[in-house]
Amino acid sequence: MARRGTDLRPALRGFYVIIGIGIGAFVNIATSGHQWAFIPLSVLSVLAIAYEVYAYLSERSTGPADPVWEFAEGRLPYVGLTAMTMADAGVFFGHAVERRSMLSRLEAKHADPADRFIPVMGPSGVGKSSLVRAGVLPVLARRPQWILVPEFSPGRHPFEALAKSLDEALPGIGSVDLAQRLRTEPGMLAQCLTRLRTERDRRSARVLLVIDQAEELLGAEMAQERENFLRVLREAVRADPGLWVIGLVRSEFLTPILQSTFGALLRNPINVAALSREELQEVIRGPARRAGVTFAPDNLVFTLVADTGGGAALPHLAYVLNKLYVESDDFTITREDYDRIGGVAGAVADAAEDAYESLGPRRDAVLPVLLRFVTRSEEGALLGQPVPAATLSDLERELLQPFVDARLIIGSDAEPPAYQVAHEAFLGSWPRLVQEIDVVGEFLRRRDDLERWASDWARMGRRDAYLISEERLAEIERWLEQRPDLVPRTEPIAEFLRRSRRLSDVAMKRLAASVAERALARVADDPDYALATAVEAVRCADTSPARRALVAALNAARTRAVLTGHTDHVENVAWSPTGSVIATVSSDGTARLWSVTDRAQSAPALPHGDVVFGLAWAPDGSRFVTASLDGRARIWSADGAGAPFVLEGAGDQLWNAAWSPDGAQVAAACNDGTVLLWNTAESEPALVLRGHEAVAWGVDFSPDGRHVVTGARDGTVRIWDRTTGDELLRFTGHEGWVHNVAYSPDGSLAASTSLDQTVRIWDAATGRAVAVLVGHGDTTQGLNWSRDGRWLATGSFDATIRVWSTETWRETAVLRGHKEAAMAVSWSDDSRYLVTGSWDGTVRIWDAFADGSLAARRALPDWAQSLAWAPGGDRLAVGVKDGTVHLLHGADLRTLSVLSGHASWVHGVAWSPDGTLLATGSVDSTARVWDVLTGEVLTVLDAETARPVWDVAFSPDSARVATASHDFTVRLWDARSGAEQRALRGHRAFVHAVAFSPDGDRVASGSEDGTVRVWDAATGDPVAVASGHRAGVRAVAYSPDGLRLASASDDQTLRVWEASTGRLLHEMRAAAGSAQCVAWSRTGDRLAAGYNDGGVRLWDPQTAVELFTLGVHDGPVASVAFTPDGARVASSSDDGSVRLWNATGDMASLLHIAEARIFTPLTDDDRQALLLPPGR
């Protein structure tokens, strides 16, 4: 529509001037004696009075009439869902009282600082922003005593937002530097305002700052920044009597605002209420008059107001009016037009669908959140209900945001603050939500029942008699398990459920199991959350699932400290050679030093001119160097004291840095593709390495100091002669930018990280690719070799840190906890701990290897099948799926030697009691006896049946070997000659396990036929048969006194039998998982068992009570064995690892350890989702 509307007031003002001239003329005539002049004089006077009445009434309905705004050519009379701007002053109507009140405040001659901060408060969607932008600012803009600074929203970086606004008002002032100066220099804001007045040549003018969405300052993650910003604002308002501030705040944030320091500024707010029906009519008619638009019939306006339902739904009305105006072609909006677009309800449905689609892949997740706003009347009609703001999680608020932006969900004036639907048409007119309501109708009914029961309980004084019974509670629990997203999260309902559950011990155990399950589900991706959740599971009830969850979470949660202080991304970290200090650098422009002992900053932050990226210690730990994007490197003393020595000469930004092993030089990679080397006593570069074709990022010196390795954006890794600067080697293979490079401690290898998500290992002498490490899910960034050279740690944009074995190049650990990119890693001097820096602004210290009760772990090339301790406990033999046998050190599990000879899986291993021989059984159908000292095979035990050998056992005198075979037999062999002595037949399926009695007189075997059989070792005669297992027997073990036999079965049980008769003594059933292996402690008072769910558990064989869950593997456990002293248990698993667990712990000590390692406690939202009471 192109035609402008007609406004009568400009014409009437002209006519009023003519009236004034006429009155003056006729007064002169009348005073000259001409009586006839009194007649026209009287008429003109009446007209003048009529104009004054018209002006007064106009001001009451539309606000102050000075100035009178004209409808701007080319603009829309109805702006839709977007907030009005100053250019829309001509079509702004409504909120006349609030407008006059605000202008009156702003025009006050004298005002104290509190009165010059004007909070404009109201629910979302009532028109606060339009009131200020189109109703107030245009008036002030025409008054010379005012200077208006462009409005801004604080966001997460309020100083940057303010600086940008000032930069618009003062072009050239520079928002980047200004933000930091506003943050750190007292009076900087006052200086800006003085300069603003000077440049505008209005030295006594008032200056107005407008802060839109001021509630953004309440973000918990920016508490310190908020306090600094409000302090600067308060000081400026106190110091400058000409500074005024308008802050627009949503009323649903009133409570948290009043509880913050922000509350001191809210002494005298202007509250913007929802428009009345009369005001809504004027909001429709006013712009129509200005634009020359008519409604047909005229009472269509009343229909629009009625369908809108109230001023809280003003955005919906604005949306409809905009759509009607744009689609109309004759300046007349008809009822047919209105019906065609579906009225307000149709517009609401369209807006809801747009908001839904804007969420992309997450859109379906918002529907359960929206269902919380829905209830039904007794007649079944859909009704909206408020949802307390405190019950919405951060994710749920994020999902609702498009609906809040579309004004479909609004804040209410309730106390406590709540959200509600702006218009109940939202519930019944949006097909997608209607369909969802139909699907979950029964769940909604149950939810309404729960709310009614909780309300009755609260009304009756919260007496136990009004809690729900166990049967009804079980029904509710089933519903909660199916649709936890529909659970009301109000305090009365949560407390009602908690009290009901406490009436039943079964309910508490069920809750513990549910919480434990949630913990286990998150172990892999969020160990911090899993640990905090597992602790709560144990607190609910000390059950087997809760214990398993706690141990699994402790295995995964390796964080030992979280260091906070940086206000932006942490870009690099470095552990000092002395081991006592950690240095970190950040995008906040500082370097910081931390004491390892007390995990606190040991010196003030060290400032730089820009982002600090590079960091390296001198070899003796006396100094460290930083490299910054300001193009300078700086050398600092180890304690940060004194001014740094500045290294100049870089032509561009500097990235990573390195210090030479002899301490004489530092190097830094430069944005222009060069790498600069400085002598540490000289400020200008001694040598510049040129050759990279793009940004150089990574740099490191070789351990012998002769070479420098670099990596760059051109995708290459290069080796240079440190003395001449000549390029010696160029490594290619990465499919993206190279970020970081590092020499191995012995200088034979170089590692590099890259945009291609891999880590590559190179032969430093030849450039040959040694290995490509794949596992990270995003760009790889930081890397560091352990001081002993056994491990390589890498960090990635996937927020994980991974530890790789330099022997096998297999990933041995994944450290999770950072919320954003893990940019840097550094090992401690003892190669046990890691420090990491992340874009989440934190620095973390990790134990790279010890997990909960875990004493040591070892990754092997393939599935670890079987294991056995040497008699002295100093060595551990492990059979591996690849056909090898690894002999590991008994304390730290490092590989001592590898026995090769089998052609397939090694499924059984056993030491001779004298420690000189090792027997092994394999799927290759043979058993072998090895000389442990020489690694030679003494004899091959081959029954020529071509059937796998599943287990082996040595007799106590080391003279015989027993084998368990797939051919249904147990065979006895001469350990030295390899001669078969006899075959024991009787099992009706293949034999999994075999064991000699401690005196050597008996042999026990376990079979897939479900039986345990005992044989006379001398004659081969059967002695006893133990029957009862309902599935195959996987393992058998004699007690140290020989009186009992333990068996592990796929029927999920362990059983203890009387060895001489086969009589069942005890049965032990785990809550989950099939028992795969079993072992006795040296004293016979404990059993260790491994399960196919990865658990390693301890049992009391006398009481059949589960004592403890030692740990959890990432795959089925194949074998367990106590150390000879009984202090530890070794376990092997299909996850390819061998783990060594402390067997002397208890749940109380583990719980204490776990509580000390919780660095991210459960939020109230988390606890509510888990149905736990509020945080203690």
Cα separation, 154 vs 214, whole angstroms: 7
Flag whether pLDDT at 619 surpasses 70.
Answer: yes
| Confidence bin at 751 (pLDDT 50/70/90) | very high
739, part of any domain: yes
| 795 and 877 together in one domain | no
pLDDT in the model for residue 461: 83
pLDDT in the model for residue 1060: 94
Mean pLDDT of 637-642: 94
Measured CA to CA in angstroms, residue 1146 lies from 571, 836, 1096, 1098, 1100 at distances of: 40, 31, 14, 11, 13
pLDDT in the model for residue 481: 77
pLDDT tens sequence across 593-609 = 999 988 888 778 999 98
| 50 and 109 together in one domain | no
Cα separation, 667 vs 374, whole angstroms: 64
Which residues make beta-bridge pairs with 609? Answer: none
| 58 and 195 together in one domain | no
1167 near 1148, Cβ under 8 Å?
no
Q: Lowest-confidence range among 280-289, 387-396, 615-624?
A: 387-396
Cα separation, 153 vs 421, whole angstroms: 25
pLDDT tens sequence across 1070-1126 = 877 889 999 999 999 999 999 998 889 999 998 888 887 888 888 899 999 999 988
Single residue among 271, 299, 325 that ends a domain in this structure? 271
pLDDT in the model for residue 1110: 83
Mean pLDDT of 743-761: 97
Cα separation, 1072 vs 1070, whole angstroms: 5
Share of the chain above pLDDT 90, in %: 48
CATH number (domain holding residue 947): 2.130.10.10
Q: What is the DSSP letter of 779?
A: -
Which residues make beta-bridge pairs with 334? Answer: 296
Mean pLDDT of 836-858: 83
Residues 6+ apart with CB under 8 A from 714: 673, 692, 693, 694, 737, 738
| 632 and 733 together in one domain | yes
pLDDT in the model for residue 379: 55
Flag whether pLDDT at 66 surpasses 50.
Answer: no
pLDDT in the model for residue 253: 67
Flag whether pLDDT at 57 surpasses 60.
Answer: no
194, part of any domain: yes
537, part of any domain: no
How many Cα neighbours within 13 Å face the side chain of 173?
25
Q: Lowest-confidence range among 10-14, 294-298, 486-490, 856-860?
A: 10-14
Flag whether pLDDT at 5 surpasses 50.
Answer: no
Q: Lowest-confidence range among 74-78, 96-100, 251-255?
A: 251-255
Flag whether pLDDT at 588 surpasses 50.
Answer: yes
pLDDT in the model for residue 7: 46
Cα separation, 776 vs 782, whole angstroms: 12
Looking only at the bridges linking them, the beta strands covering 294-296 and 332-334 are: parallel
| 170 and 112 together in one domain | yes
Cα separation, 90 vs 138, whole angstroms: 10
| H or E, element range at 83 | none
1036, part of any domain: yes
Flag whether pLDDT at 471 surpasses 70.
Answer: no
Q: Where would I find the H helices in 962-1065?
A: none
Looking only at the bridges linking them, the beta strands covering 206-211 and 146-148 are: parallel
Phi, psi angles (nearest 5°) of residue 412: -105, 165
Flag whether pLDDT at 1061 surpasses 70.
Answer: yes
| Confidence bin at 827 (pLDDT 50/70/90) | very high
Q: Lowest-confidence range among 233-242, 366-375, 621-630, 1023-1032?
A: 366-375
508 vs 526, residue with greater confidence: 526
Residues 6+ apart with CB under 8 A from 292: 3, 4, 5, 6, 331
| 400 and 368 together in one domain | yes
| Confidence bin at 688 (pLDDT 50/70/90) | very high
Measured CA to CA in angstroms, residue 955 lies from 868, 912, 952, 962 at distances of: 14, 8, 10, 8
pLDDT in the model for residue 1: 44
| 114 and 55 together in one domain | no
pLDDT in the model for residue 357: 92
pLDDT tens sequence across 241-293 = 999 999 988 776 666 666 666 566 666 789 888 888 888 888 888 888 888 88
Domain span at 800 = 560-850
| 603 and 672 together in one domain | yes
CATH number (domain holding residue 154): 3.40.50.300
| 890 and 836 together in one domain | no
Cα separation, 545 vs 966, whole angstroms: 35
Burial class, 324, CB count within 10 angstroms (exposed 0-12 / middle 13-18 / buried 19+): buried
Mean pLDDT of 546-572: 90
248 near 212, Cβ under 8 Å?
yes
729 near 772, Cβ under 8 Å?
no
| Confidence bin at 70 (pLDDT 50/70/90) | low
| 820 and 753 together in one domain | yes
What's the per-residue H, E or C state across 538-575?
HHHCCCHHHHHHHHHHHHHCCEEEEECCCCCCEEEEEE
Cα separation, 424 vs 309, whole angstroms: 9
Please report the DSSP string for 644-693 in residue order: PEEE---SS-EEEEEE-TTSSEEEEEETTS-EEEEETT-SS-SEEE---S
pLDDT in the model for residue 63: 39
Mean pLDDT of 318-339: 83
673 near 653, Cβ under 8 Å?
no
Q: Where would I find the H helices in 201-246?
A: 223-239
pLDDT tens sequence across 859-906 = 888 888 899 999 989 999 999 999 999 999 998 888 999 999 999 999
Mean pLDDT of 984-998: 95
| Confidence bin at 51 (pLDDT 50/70/90) | low
978 vs 505, residue with greater confidence: 978
Q: Lowest-confidence range among 107-111, 406-410, 798-802?
A: 406-410
168, part of any domain: yes
| Confidence bin at 794 (pLDDT 50/70/90) | very high
Phi, psi angles (nearest 5°) of residue 451: -65, -40
What's the per-residue H, E or C state across 800-823?
CEEEEECCCCCEEEEECCCCCCEE
Q: Cite the beta strand spans of 300-395 per DSSP E.
A: 332-334, 374-376, 382-384, 387-388
Q: Residue 1042 is which amino acid?
A: G
Looking only at the bridges linking them, the beta strands covering 1053-1058 and 1064-1069 are: antiparallel
Q: Residue 62, SS3?
A: helix
Residues 6+ apart with CB under 8 A from 1133: 863, 864, 1090, 1094, 1113, 1114, 1115, 1116, 1117, 1118, 1139
Single residue among 271, 286, 306 that ends a domain in this structure? 271
Cα separation, 3 vs 1070, whole angstroms: 82
Residue with tokens 């100053």: 86
| H or E, element range at 1140 | strand 1137-1142
pLDDT in the model for residue 176: 65
Percent helix, strand, coil in the chain (nearest 5)? Answer: 30, 30, 40
pLDDT in the model for residue 851: 55
1064, part of any domain: yes
Flag whether pLDDT at 158 surpasses 50.
Answer: yes
pLDDT in the model for residue 404: 84
61 vs 625, residue with greater confidence: 625
Mean pLDDT of 1127-1149: 85
279, part of any domain: no
pLDDT in the model for residue 929: 96
Number of domains in the chain: 5
Q: What is the signed CA dihedral for 940, 944, 948, 949, rounded to 10 degrees?
A: -40
CA 125 to chain centre: 31
| Confidence bin at 991 (pLDDT 50/70/90) | very high
Cα separation, 785 vs 780, whole angstroms: 15
Highest mean pLDDT among 32-41, 381-390, 916-925: 916-925
Cα separation, 992 vs 1033, whole angstroms: 7
CA angle in degrees (0–180, nearest 5) for 733-734-740: 125
| 779 and 722 together in one domain | yes
Single residue among 850, 874, 905 that ends a domain in this structure? 850
Cα separation, 426 vs 79, whole angstroms: 22
pLDDT in the model for residue 386: 80
| 839 and 873 together in one domain | no
Phi, psi angles (nearest 5°) of residue 478: -65, -40
497, part of any domain: no
Phi-psi region of 1094 (alpha: psi -120 to 50; beta: other; left: phi over 0): left
Mean pLDDT of 772-801: 96
Task: Return mean pLDDT, the chain.
Answer: 86
